[in-house]
Every structure is written in structure tokens, then in C-alpha cells.
Structure 1
């Protein structure tokens, strides 16, 4: 077993964890990696991951979550291409949760949009942000 080092997770409160799981499965391609009831606080806890890196989104049940990621603070998820961003925006628009239409901000920001999760937290979906390449260039 190895020790986790570095940025491993972010934790958010969620009123209806099942709705949040559905949201992050749909809009961030994540799935449940771990689930339990935390006996100390008597709350349901889930860990979600997109399995692309050792990082999880932790959702903790809370009857009255305060959105801490919004209006600008957000989680960011990279998409395959602009078409995927557009498709997710279309779906979010139909569901009434699209917070900011897709915008092409050029290099290095790319093509991006904001979507609200069931508790009001903001998820950015994007294409063309060269975060991985930028980090690789600075690992020398």
C-alpha cells in the first residue's frame, strides 16, 4: 500500500447524494469508488472519481449545504473535444442548470462553460486547457 502524496481530493456537502452522483456521472464522467455512513457524524459519504488520476470528489450528506463553489469558484473537468462541451451544455440547458454558455477564450483557457450541480456548486467543463502539458513542462 502506498501513501497518498499531493492534492488527493476535494469535499463538498450534498443534500441528496444520489442526485449529486447522477450529476457527476453525467457531467464529469465520474463513478462511485467508495461509499459509507460515517458513524462519527451519522452522514452518508461517497468518493467519486473519473479514474484518470488518483483524485476523488468527496460528497458528504448535509441537509442544508451551503454552496462554496460559486459563482466563480469551481471544479474543472476537461472534455474530449468542443462537441462534447456543446453536447453537455445542450443537456444542461434542457435541465435548467447551465450557468454560463460555452465561450471560446483562446489559449490557454480554451472553450469552456459553467454548469450548476444539484446543490449550487459550479462545475466547469472545458476543451483546450493545456493543464497537463503546462505541468509537464514545469517538472524539470
Structure 2
């Protein structure tokens, strides 16, 4: 079966292990695939916000409630990174609750990666904050954005 539609974004990183740790902590992502590219000799890692293997607890319910398709970030280790996702361009990740997001933001504040205080912009933007990843790319944490619901209602 071939993938159709949006499947991934490739992100250059200077230290793939450090980036895995960041996205594991703040975006709840896990390594799905890793390899050393045969042609270039560089590390390539695919990370996903939920493993797509079966069974995991509540697989079908999770699929119905908030998952429509697999999507990965492809981390590609490189010697030189010029952040492409900054200052406003960003990856966005929805949190399960406002409290969960606040806890992640507090940790980000302690680690010096929180770019500003959480903001509540109301509907449709919701509650959000920007973080800086190890290479300067921007990650948005949010709660209350209704992207999935909007897509479902539209199509």
C-alpha cells in the first residue's frame, strides 16, 4: 500500500540523538525508523507521535478520536543547520490537556527552551506557546485548537 497525501516533513539537525530527546519530551514522539543513509553516510531518523504498531492500548479508539493518518518528522543529521522553522514558521503539536501543556511549558522554562509565556488566543487558535528545539527550529505546543474537528466537518 502506498501513502497518499501529506506524510512527513524533513528537518535538518546537528545532533540526531539530542533532537530525538527534545521531540520525545515535548511532542511525545518516538523513533519509528532509523538508518545511516547508504549514499551520504548521515543518520536519518523518522519520529512519530504515536507508534502505529498493533496492538497498543485503545488503538481503535485513539484512531477514531484524534488520528486520521500517520505522519512523521524525518530528522536528518547534517554539519550545518540553518533553522527553517523560525521565528514564526513552526511545527504544531496538540496537548491532551491545558494542565499537560502547562507542565511541559514549565519544564521547557527550566531547560531554557520556552520562547515566551503561554497565551490563550481563543477560538480557533486556542492556548499555545512556542519552544525552541536544539537547532533553533520552533515547536508550538497547543491545547484547544480544533484542526481535526474542522477538517472532519469540512470533508
Same structural fold, with TM-score higher than 0.5 when normalized by the shorter chain: yes
Q: Distance in 2 between matches of 1:28 and 1:109?
A: 18
Rounded to whole Å, the distance in 1 between the matches of 2:151 and 2:144 is: 14
Q: Secondary structure at the match of 2:115?
A: strand
- 1:88-130, Cα deviation, whole Å (9 max, x unpaired): 1100000011012110000000000000100000000000000
CA distance in 2 between counterparts of 1:19 and 1:115 reads 15
Partner of 2:47: 48
Q: Normalising to structure 1: TM-score of the pair?
A: 0.96
Q: Which stretches of structure 1, 4 residues or longer, exceed 3 Å deviation after superposition?
A: none
Distance across 2 between alignment mates of 1:130 and 1:20: 27
Whole-Å separation in 2 of the counterparts to 1:44 and 1:80: 31
Alpha-carbon displacement from aligned partner over 1:40-99 (angstroms, at most 9, x marks no partner): 111100000012531000000011111000000000000011111111110000001101
Correspondence list, 1:78-93, <5 A: 78-93=94-109
2:117 to 101, 106, 110: 101
CA distance, structure 2, for counterparts of residue 54 and residue 85 of structure 1: 22
- CA RMSD for the aligned pairs? 0.8
Distance across 1 between alignment mates of 2:142 and 2:46: 22
Q: Which deviates further from its counterpart, 49-58 or 63-72? A: 49-58
Unmatched runs of 5 consecutive residues or more in structure 1:
none
Output the CA distance in 2 between the equivalents of 1:124 and 1:89. 10
SS of the residue aligned with 2:93?
Answer: strand
Q: Secondary structure at the match of 1:12?
A: strand
